[in-house]
Chain A
Amino acid sequence: MALGIASYSCRFPGYRLAARELSRAWGLVIPGLKGKRVAGLDEDAITLALAAAADIVASPVHVLALASTSLPYRHKAQAGLLAQALRLGSSPFAAECTTSDRAGTEALVTALGVASSLDTGCAEGIGMPECVGGKDVATCTDDDHKVGTQTGPGVALVVAAEVATGSTRAGNDALMGAGAVAFVFREGGAVATIEAFSSFVAEDPGLDFTRADHENRRDIKVPDYAADAYTGAIRGTIGRLLGALNRELAEYRFVAMNAPDPRLMTAAARALGLRADQWQQARAFPETANVGAAQPLMELVAALDAARPGDRILLVGYGSGSAADAISLVAGPESGQGVLARSLAAATDVDYVAYLKLRGEI
């Protein structure tokens, strides 16, 4: 694929709950967690997604992929609000990935696949039955297609956003945070290039799920099963990718992963033989907690911020139930932009009572 990351950004709500508040309320100590962000009453996954995307949006955009497990509607096409607010017009292919935390990498792979299949200089590209210049397909010419200087693969905007929903007493809620991340992919993107991806899918019922007719996340709480499923999915997809690329895991400077529980990631890292500096440095989790579908891409932001040109990054997205993607990237000359730290700079600390009010519990 010739597509690379051209720009990236993230956005968080201003309210912050320090980890010590979770300790005071529940006696919980979550390894590695310093604090998390909480959505205000006027924020949701859509407003956060929009804020992150608005920082970097360019024109035109041919593919818009939105990932979230906490969109405000369960059934409604919601990318249209982003498309309208960002003035992308009505022609982008809009994908909405919503059923697990893997949705972030699912959206990324989907967007790259569709964007790569387009030839934006020509109305005959797959899935582009209309002229990009807005002319009649029957009579348009190459001059009509020169919107900017883009020809070849399309431009993709991938946005992942999450807010915590349901009861604060349910499942892994203490781990759940709010935030959004956005990437623009285009040919020759200088932040990082995408080399290849591989995937894994299996049926693992009972792990970190929310029924459609219930509000709260649940888990059957069998730790060995959860570890087995998680490690199996991570190994499955990474193994396939490394085999195809004929490469060792040690060659990757950063392995950016997400997990429903930090202990699962520790176990998987040990099983894979990762060095500590590959997966424990440059993490988003300490300041973001688990931002669900946005978590894999948030960890990618942390890795990109720390990477030097030429560093290999392995991104793994995992969704319980299960599915996973592994994506191999190489950091480019425009990596290391300090995006995560800048976006976390402004914070208003709240105590646990204020947190419960913001979450609608009291």
Chain B
Amino acid sequence: MGAHVSVPMYRRSLSQRLCLEGRRCTCCERVFFPPVGGCRHCGGLLEAIVLSGRGEILTVTWITPAGAPPEFAEQAYRQGGYHVAIVKLEEGPKLTAQLTDVTGTPTIGTPVRAQVRLLYDEEGVLRYGFKFSPETPAAADNDGGAGPPEQAGATEGAR
């Protein structure tokens, strides 16, 4: 059974999916992704934070066409399968995502960086979101003012 994400749900979660917007506790500084309502650690108030997208693989597996949910069935069929990893972001939170642009064998500890990619098509609406790709020296070099967008204007961007 797939995970149906309605268009309103997708739209409301775009800042997470496209910008990796999480929450940071103003008291204990713990970071949460996806965003939550209040600090699970100390109960403090949270502020918005855009995560860097950098992290490392905690664990990784390969999903075959037989194991893929409907949203990714076609992708799995055309590619032969896809990697799914649990990634620990450098700010602390762990999340599950596909890997993309994989060369070589991703393994525990491989440094990765978030990329926005086309996930699937449902109800005629294209769904975009993050995947992770292994860091290459070339990608790290491209970091002149690069990586995630500047945080100035973060309050304007939040809907």
**A interacts with B:** yes
- The answer to whether B100 touches A342 (Cβ under 8 A) is no
Q: How far is the CA of A90 from the CA of B100 in the complex (A)?
A: 30
Mask, A52-79, CB within 8 Å of B = 1, is: 0011111110000000000011000000
Is B84 interfacial (CB 8 A cutoff)? Answer: no
Q: How far is the CA of A346 from the CA of B103 in the complex (A)?
A: 10
Q: How far is the CA of A43 from the CA of B98 in the complex (A)?
A: 14
- The answer to whether A89 touches B157 (Cβ under 8 A) is yes
Known contacts being A46-B128, A84-B15, A87-B153, is A55 close to B145, with CB within 8 Å?
yes
Mask, B1-27, CB within 8 Å of A = 1, is: 000000000000011001100000000
Query: Cβ of B79: which chain A residues have Cβ within 8 Å of it?
Result: 41
Dominant secondary structure at the B interface: mixed
Q: How far is the CB of B63 from chain A (nearest CB, A)?
A: 14
Q: How far is the CA of A346 from the CA of B153 in the complex (A)?
A: 32
Interface size on A, residues (CB 8 A): 40
Mask, B121-159, CB within 8 Å of A = 1, is: 000001010010000101101101111111111101100
Is B118 interfacial (CB 8 A cutoff)? Answer: yes
Q: What residue of chain A has the Cβ atom nearest to residue B147's Cβ?
A: A54
Is A343 interfacial (CB 8 A cutoff)? Answer: yes
Known contacts being A46-B128, A47-B118, is A84 close to B139, with CB within 8 Å?
no
Is B119 interfacial (CB 8 A cutoff)? Answer: yes
- The answer to whether A57 touches B157 (Cβ under 8 A) is no
- The answer to whether B103 touches A87 (Cβ under 8 A) is no
Is B110 interfacial (CB 8 A cutoff)? Answer: no
Known contacts being A42-B117, A43-B117, A55-B145, is A88 close to B15, with CB within 8 Å?
no
Is A85 interfacial (CB 8 A cutoff)? Answer: yes
Is B75 interfacial (CB 8 A cutoff)? Answer: yes
Query: Cβ of A346: which chain B residues have Cβ within 8 Å of it?
Result: 136, 138-139
Is B116 interfacial (CB 8 A cutoff)? Answer: yes
What would be 25 A-B contacts, judged by CB atoms less than 8 Å apart? A7-B145, A14-B103, A41-B78, A43-B118, A46-B118, A47-B117, A50-B116, A51-B115, A54-B146, A57-B149, A59-B152, A60-B152, A72-B126, A84-B14, A84-B19, A86-B149, A87-B149, A87-B150, A87-B151, A87-B153, A87-B154, A89-B156, A90-B156, A147-B153, A346-B138
Seen from chain A, the residues whose Cβ lies within 8 Å of a Cβ on chain B are 7, 9, 14, 40-44, 46-47, 50-51, 54-60, 72-73, 81, 84-91, 134, 147-148, 342-343, 345-346, 348, 357, 360
